[in-house]
C-alpha cells in the first residue's frame, strides 16, 4: 500500500507582528533580524485562541481537500510543544470537535521535527493496511512560551497550524523514503522551562550539518540523485540554514520553499504551512519529487522523499 498526502489545509492567525513592531518592544532592529534570520513578520494568535483552535481549523480544511469526513478518520496525530494543557491531548480535543468518533488520537512531542515524525508514523499505519486515513496536524502557539525581552528568541517564532490527511495513493506516488533521528545530548541547546531558551550558535551548527545530510540520506535510500529533486520544503527556521540545505542539493533558488519572511518559525506547523503556500503559487505539481526536511529541539530531525500526487 502506498501512503501519501491526499488532503492539506492550514490556519494562520490574523494579527501580524512586524520587525518594526518588535523595535518598539526590545533592543533590536529590522535590519538585524532580516540579515540574521530572513524574517520580516510573523503571525501571533489572540489570547483567546488555543493551539487546538488553530489545529481544528487546519484539520477541517485538510478533510475538505481530501474529500472525506471526520467519520472516515482512523487516527489523529498532532505534533505540538504548546498544547492547550498537559492533557487531554490536542489530538483528543480536536477529535471531539471534528466528530471523528472512531479515530484514535495522540500528540507527538518532537519540537520543530514533529510534523516529520507525524507523517512518517501515519505512513507506517497506512502502508501496513492497519488504517486507511490518518490526520496529521502541526500546530503551535509559541507566543505563549516566549520571553518577549529576549531578542535572541522572541524575534524568531510565530503561531499557526497546518494539517494533512495521509492515505492510500496510486502506484509510484507518496512516501518513497524517510529518515528520523535524535541526539538527546544536544537537548541543552534548545529547551523550554518557563520560556524558550536557545544556544543559537550550537543549534545553527547542528542544523546546517543535519539538514543537508538528511536530504542526501533520503535520496540515497530511494535510489535517487540530487538532479531528481523538483522541490525542497525545509523547516522554516532560519534562511541561512535553509540555504545550506538547498546548496547541498545543488538546487536553484526557485526550487526551495521560502515562507519564513512572512510567518517566522512556526515549529511543527512550518512545513505544512509552506506546502499550502507553494501549491497556491503553482510551484508543486503532480508527479514532482518533493524533499521535506526538519530539525528541532531534542535534538531531533527528520526528512522525507515524496512523490506528489494521489
Beta strands in 114-159 (DSSP E): 134-140
Residue 20 a catalytic site member = no
Distances in Å between the Cα of 206 and the Cα atoms of 65, 79, 298 are 36, 22, 12
Catalytic residue check, 261: no
- Cα–Cα distance between 294 and 300 in angstroms, integer? 8
Quick check: 270 and 114 in contact, CB under 8 A? Answer: no
Based on the residue annotation, tell me whether 235 is a catalytic residue of this protein. Answer: yes
- Active-site residue (options: 112, 133, 217, 238): 112
Q: Choosing from 2, 50, 238, 265, which is the catalytic residue?
A: 265
Say if residue 283 is exposed, middle or buried (CB neighbours under 10 Å; 0-12, 13-18, 19+): middle
Classify 76 as helix, strand or coil.
strand
Of 50, 215, 235, 238, the catalytic one is 235
What number of CA atoms fall less than 13 Å from residue 258's CA on the CB side? 18
Rounded to 5 degrees, φ, ψ at 176 are: -100, -45
Residues belonging to the active site: 112, 235, 265
Amino acid at each position: 500500500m502506498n501512503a501519501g498526502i491526499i488532503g492539506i489545509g492550514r490556519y494562520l492567525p490574523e494579527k501580524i507582528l512586524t520587525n518594526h513592531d518588535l523595535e518598539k518592544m526590545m533592543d533590536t532592529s529590522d535590519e538585524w533580524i532580516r540579515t540574521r534570520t530572513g524574517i520580516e513578520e510573523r503571525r501571533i494568535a489572540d489570547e483567546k485562541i488555543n493551539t487546538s483552535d488553530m489545529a481544528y481549523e487546519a484539520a477541517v480544511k485538510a478533510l475538505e481537500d481530501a474529500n472525506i469526513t471526520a467519520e472516515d478518520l482512523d487516527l489523529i496525530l498532532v505534533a505540538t510543544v504548546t498544547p492547550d494543557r498537559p492533557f487531554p491531548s490536542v489530538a483528543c480535543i480536536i477529535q471531539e470537535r471534528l466528530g471523528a468518533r472512531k479515530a484514535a488520537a495522540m500528540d507527538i512531542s518532537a519540537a520543530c521535527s514533529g510534523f516529520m515524525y507525524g507523517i512518517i508514523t501515519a505512513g507506517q499505519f497506512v502502508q501496513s493496511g492497519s488504517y486507511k486515513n490518518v490526520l496529521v496536524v502541526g500546530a503551535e502557539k509559541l507566543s505563549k512560551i516566549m520571553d518577549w525581552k529576549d531578542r535572541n528568541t522572541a524575534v524568531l517564532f510565530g503561531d499557526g497550524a497546518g494539517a494533512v490527511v495521509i492515505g492510500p495513493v496510486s502506484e509510484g506516488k507518496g512516501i518513497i523514503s524517510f529518515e528520523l533521528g535524535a541526539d538527546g545530548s544536544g537537548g541543552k541547546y534548545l529547551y523550554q522551562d518557563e520560556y524558550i531558551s536557545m544556544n543559537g550558535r550550537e543549534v545553527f551548527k547542528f542544523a546546517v550539518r543535519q539538514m543537508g545530510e538528511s536530504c542526501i540520506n533520503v535520496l540515497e535510500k530511494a535510489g535517487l540523485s540530487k538532479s531528481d529533486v523538483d522541490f525542497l520544503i525545509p523547516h522554516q527556521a532560519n534562511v541561512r540554514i535553509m540555504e545550506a540545505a538547498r546548496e547541498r542539493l545543488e538546487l536553484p533558488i526557485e526550487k526551495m520553499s521560502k515562507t519564513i519572511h512572512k510567518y517566522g518559525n512556526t515549529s511543527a506547523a512550518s512545513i505544512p504551512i509552506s506546502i499550502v503556500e507553494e501549491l497556491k503559487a503553482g510551484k508543486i505539481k503532480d508527479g514532482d519529487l518533493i524533499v521535506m526536511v526538519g530539525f528541532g529541539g531534542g535534538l531531533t530531525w527528520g526528512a522525507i522523499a515524496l512523490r506528489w500526487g494521489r
